[in-house]
Amino acid sequence: MSSVLPAGLLTVDATTPAVLVLPGPVTRDEVPRLCDDVRAQLEATGAGIVVCDVAGLGPPGLGTVDVLARLELAARRAGGRIRLRNPDPALRALLDLVGLRFESVDAIDAGDPTGFVESEGEPEEREPTGGVQEEVEPGDAPL
């Protein structure tokens, strides 16, 4: 049995992700504006993805992690995601250390599945409450 292929290109996504360049160290005062930019770009493009160019952020620190986590949260609340472009290897290591994973555009373009830095998974696995109970003996020394 054979079928006729439709004319033209088969699967073409006409939407191009917006790019948000994060220049220099980002302060806490700038985060709400950047979150608004992410939401606006998601609405404008309809692509569901905003690419964040992080090459200009400088040495990574917990402030950078906080900014990226807040941008991802804003994107998810708007029905989208963010992807990182030009992440420093130290930034990737820090994000992995704190348990945040973002998809890297460079790795996707190169076909490298290990460059995936995606923020998914369980935030933390804990024992159910009430499982461990400790007794304090009258003569125990304080910790």
Kindly report the CATH number assigned to the domain that includes residue 62.
3.30.750.24
Condensed to tens digits (0 to 9), the pLDDT of residues 67-103 reads 999 999 999 999 999 999 999 999 999 999 999 888 8
Which residue range(s) make up the domain with 31? Answer: 18-118
Displacement of CA 55 from its chain's centroid (Å): 15
In a domain, 94, yes or no: yes
pLDDT value at residue 111: 47
Count CA within 13 A, CB hemisphere, residue 138.
0
In a domain, 69, yes or no: yes
In a domain, 36, yes or no: yes
**Total structural domains in the chain?**
1
Distance between CA atoms of residues 46 and 17, nearest Å = 8
Condensed to tens digits (0 to 9), the pLDDT of residues 35-76 reads 999 999 999 888 889 999 999 998 899 999 999 999 999 999
pTM (whole model) above 0.75: no
